[in-house]
């Protein structure tokens, strides 16, 4: 899936050109509209700075939150404008909208190397509906389109797919990096290749499990989703989270693992609680003895050891989803231990790819984020990539 990037645009063709860059500035804000993590803005800087240095006129666009087609002050990109100006060390102008006469005027007034940030794309319902007319209005603002918002490429929206019908479309450096790490993990992984899949439910990870079973040397499954597999094996799980309608699928996945001779590692023991709360009573029990009325909240010490041994010798590791309810410190022990095991394997030469979302939060909580080879900026997009799905926001970009 080799796509043309901004670096493939002849330098002379960038100077003085209007370039529409789709960024992912969907940053977390506190109740005073302060950005609590600028990680996503930082991730876009290499592409933005490259285009500034080449003398392009930048039109940046993003969504923030879910305003559902209505103008809502709490979803304004104004805090992003302020932070971006600070990080770039130069003023970034802010448009009052993303289309319309005022926006056209601001864009036409841009000088080489100047930056204009459009207001939230999702203030218009046409954005998520991929309305062709809205996409054309966005496209009319520029001569070149650059996609650098990996977290949105699994959605066919006006600014992620529709706009590419009217402009030459290139990948930014962030998307190039995502495709390199995720693509190589699936097509040419260094072996042994170990996947760690966790999180609350099987339902969101069913297809990725099926896909990975044909590629990995070992598959580790933890988190709430493990209990549907235990139930499929006839094991009592107490009050643990189970998706009854997916038990049949879980049985088929377990059978596929046996047929393909892929070790399918489930927890050996569990940290269980008498209620879903930080102040719950807790005990550690073997995998087959969860008492009635108790629920699994984390993997136990024997599981940590078993999973750690499987990770230790890996040369490629893909991790998506925590091993327990890691948001509560009492039940974060297993997830943090696995994060540290992945970090250690990375230091010993493994390529580690963390699949965004909760997994990214988990490695940060464990204090080992800087030791991972790659932390994806798109949880949903990375999952769909691992499933082997066509991502509309990638498919629309020019092929090398």
Q: Is 176 helix (H, G, I), strand (E, B) or coil?
A: helix
Q: Of 72, 82, 136, 201, which residue is the catalytic one? A: 201
To the query of whether residue 40 is one of the catalytic residues in this protein, the response is yes
**Residue in 69, 380, 388, 389 annotated catalytic:** 380
From 40, 83, 231, 340, active-site residue: 40
Give the residue numbers of the binding site for (2R)-3-phosphoglycerate. 40, 122, 155
- How many CB atoms lie under 10 A from the CB of residue 53? 11
d(CA 142, CA 136): 10
Q: What is the DSSP letter of 163?
A: G
Percent of the chain that is helix, strand, coil (3-state, to 5)? 40, 15, 40
Strand order across the beta sheet in which 269-273 lies: 282-286, 269-273, 295-299
- Among 151, 162, 199, 357, the one annotated catalytic: 357
Binding residues: 24-26, 40, 63-66, 122, 155, 205, 296, 327, 356-359
Q: Minimal CA–CA distance to 201: which of 265, 163, 162, 250?
A: 250
| Residue 141: C-alpha distances to residues 25, 223, 310, 362, 396 (Å) | 19, 46, 52, 39, 19
Number of Cβ within 10 Å of residue 198's Cβ equals 26
Residue 191 CA to its chain's centroid (Å): 24
Give the chain's length: 400
CA distances from 41 to 33, 78, 354, 396, 399 (A): 16, 13, 19, 24, 26
Question: Rounded to an integer, what distance in angstroms lies between the CA atom of residue 197 and that of residue 223?
Answer: 8
In this structure, are residues 309 and 341 in contact, taking their beta carbons and an 8 Å threshold? no
Asked whether the beta carbons of 106 and 93 are under 8 A apart, the reply is yes
Q: Is 201 a catalytic residue?
A: yes
∠ Cα 204 66 41 (to 5°): 90
Q: Report residue 147 as tokens.
A: 């996609």
Contact criterion met (CB below 8 Å) for 274 and 280: yes
Question: Binding site for substrate: what residues are annotated?
Answer: 24-26, 40, 63-66, 122, 155
| 324 labelled catalytic | no
Catalytic residues: 40, 201, 357, 380
């Amino acid at each position: 899936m080799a796509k043309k990037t901004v670096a493939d645009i002849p330098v002379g063709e960038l100077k003085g050109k209007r370039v529409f860059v789709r960024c992912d500035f969907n940053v977390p804000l506190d109740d005073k509209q302060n950005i609590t993590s600028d990680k996503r803005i930082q991730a876009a800087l290499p592409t933005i700075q490259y285009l500034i240095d080449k003398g392009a006129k930048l039109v940046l666009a993003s969504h923030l939150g879910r305003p559902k087609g209505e103008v809502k002050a709490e979803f304004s990109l104004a805090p992003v404008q302020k932070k971006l100006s600070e990080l770039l060390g130069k003023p970034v102008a802010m448009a009052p909208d993303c289309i319309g006469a005022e926006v056209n005027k601001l864009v036409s007034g841009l000088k080489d190397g100047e930056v204009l940030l459009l207001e939230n794309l999702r203030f218009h319902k046409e954005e998520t509906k991929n309305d062709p007319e809205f996409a054309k209005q966005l496209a009319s603002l520029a001569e070149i389109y650059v996609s650098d918002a990996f977290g949105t490429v699994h959605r066919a929206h006006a600014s992620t797919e529709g706009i590419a019908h009217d402009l030459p479309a290139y990948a930014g450096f962030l998307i190039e990096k995502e495709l390199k790490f995720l693509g190589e993990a699936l097509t040419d992984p260094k072996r042994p290749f170990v996947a760690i899949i966790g999180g609350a439910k099987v339902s969101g990870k069913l297809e990725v499990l099926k896909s990975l079973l044909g590629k990995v040397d070992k598959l580790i499954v933890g988190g709430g989703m493990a209990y549907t597999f235990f139930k499929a094996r006839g094991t009592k799980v107490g009050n643990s989270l189970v998706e009854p309608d997916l038990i049949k699928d879980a049985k088929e996945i377990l059978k596929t693992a046996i047929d393909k001779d892929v070790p399918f590692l489930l927890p050996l023991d569990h940290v269980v609680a008498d209620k879903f709360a930080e102040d719950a009573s807790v005990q550690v029990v073997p995998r087959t003895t969860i008492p009635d009325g108790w629920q699994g909240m984390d993997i136990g010490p024997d599981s940590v050891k078993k999973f750690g041994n499987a990770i230790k010798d890996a040369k490629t590791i893909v991790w998506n989803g925590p091993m327990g309810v890691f948001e509560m410190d009492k039940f974060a022990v297993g997830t943090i231990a696995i994060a540290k095991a992945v970090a250690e394997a990375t230091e010993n030469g493994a390529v580690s790819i963390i699949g965004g979302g909760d997994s990214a939060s988990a490695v940060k909580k464990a204090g080992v984020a800087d030791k991972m080879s790659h932390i994806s900026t798109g949880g949903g997009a990375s999952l769909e990539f691992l499933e082997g799905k066509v991502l509309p926001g990638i498919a629309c970009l020019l092929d090398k």
